[in-house]
Amino acid sequence: MIRVGVFGAGGRMGSTVCRAVHEAPDMELVAAVDPHHAGIDLHQLGVHGTQIQVAAKASALADAGAEVAVDFTVVDAARENLRWCAQHGVHAVVGTTGFGEAELAELAEVFEAAASNALVAPNFAIGAVLMMRFAELAAPYFDSVEIIELHHDQKVDAPSGTAIATAQRIAAASKEWAEDPTRNLVAEGARGASVEGVPVHAVRLRGLVAHQEVLFGTTGQQLSIRHDTTDRTSFMPGVLLAIRKVREHPGLTVGLDRILGL
C-alpha cells in the first residue's frame, strides 16, 4: 500500500484526489492538509469511510508517515510544499499550475540533492497528453495547422496553457508551414492568436469544461485530433499513475510523457 497525503484537500481537485486515492486498492489516504478547511472531516468533502480530519500544516503528512504527497493548491503554496517534501523525504506529485521555467530548473536542483522525487504536470488528463504527442508526430507530414481550444465561461486566461504547449511542440516538430493566405483582415482577431506561428482560436462557452482540437491539412486530406475533458475525474487516472510511478523517476520530472513511456 502506498501511503498518500494530499495538499489542498478542501479544493475542487484536492477533494477529488482524496476520493480517488481512498478508492484505489493499492493506496491508503493517510493525511489531508488545507489551512482554509482545517478541522473538517473528510466525509464532509464526499470522502466516505475515513476518520481523517483536514489538518492545517504539512507536518500532518510526516506524522502520518506519508510516502507520497499530492499537491493541487496555488503556486505560492505548492512552492513551499515541494520544498517541505524535499526536506522530509516525501515524494511529490504536483498538479498546481503556474511554475515558470527558471523555477522548475531550481526545483530540479533541489530534488537532485533530495532523498525523494517530484513530478510536476500541468495536465494530468492522459488523453490531453496523448493529443499533444500525436500532434507533434503529425506536424512534419502536413502543410497547415490550426488549434481550437474550447473552455467553460469562467476561464480567465486565453489561450489555455495546454493550447500554448501544443503550439510550442508543433512548432518545434516542424518549421515547414504554408503561408497564411489572408490579405484583407476584415475583423481583428479573425485568424486567432499566433503562438510560435501556429494560429490558436479560443472559444468560451457556458456548459463546456475543457476541450481542444488540433486541425492539420495537406493536399486532399485533413487530420483532426480532439480531446474532451467533461469532468474533473478525467485527471484521476493520471494522478494515480504518477503516485505509483514517482518513486521510479529520480529528481524532478516535468509532464506525464515520461511516466507514460512516450
Which listed residue (50, 53, 87, 97) binds ligand NAD by CB under 6 A?
97
Active site residue 155: yes
Kindly give the residue spans of alpha helices, DSSP state H, lying in the chain.
12-23, 59-63, 75-88, 101-112, 126-138, 161-173, 236-245
Is it true that the peptide bond before 159 is cis, omega within 30 degrees of 0?
yes
**Identity of the residue, 95 or 199, whose beta carbon is nearer to ligand NAD in the bound complex:** 95
CB under 8 Å to 181, separation ≥6 — which residues?
Answer: none
Candidate ranges 41-49, 73-81, 149-157, 178-186; the one touching ligand NAD (CB under 6 A)? 73-81
5 binding ligand NAD? (CB under 6 A): no
Helix (H) or strand (E) holding 151: strand 144-151
CB under 8 Å to 72, separation ≥6 — which residues?
Answer: 6, 7, 8, 11, 13, 14, 17, 95, 96
Taking the complex as a whole, the smallest distance from the CB of residue 177 to ligand NAD amounts, in Å, to 29
Active site residue 37: no
Taking the complex as a whole, the smallest distance from the CB of residue 112 to ligand NAD amounts, in Å, to 23
**Identity of the residue, 97 or 144, whose beta carbon is nearer to ligand NAD in the bound complex:** 97
120 binding ligand NAD? (CB under 6 A): no
Half-sphere exposure of 78 (CA within 13 A, CB side): 25
Kindly determine how many residues on this chain lie close enough to bind ligand NAD according to the rule CB under 6 A. Answer: 24
Residue positions annotated with a catalytic role: 151, 155
| Chain contacts with ligand NAD (rule: CB under 6 A) | 7-8, 10-14, 33-37, 72-74, 77, 95-97, 121-124, 235
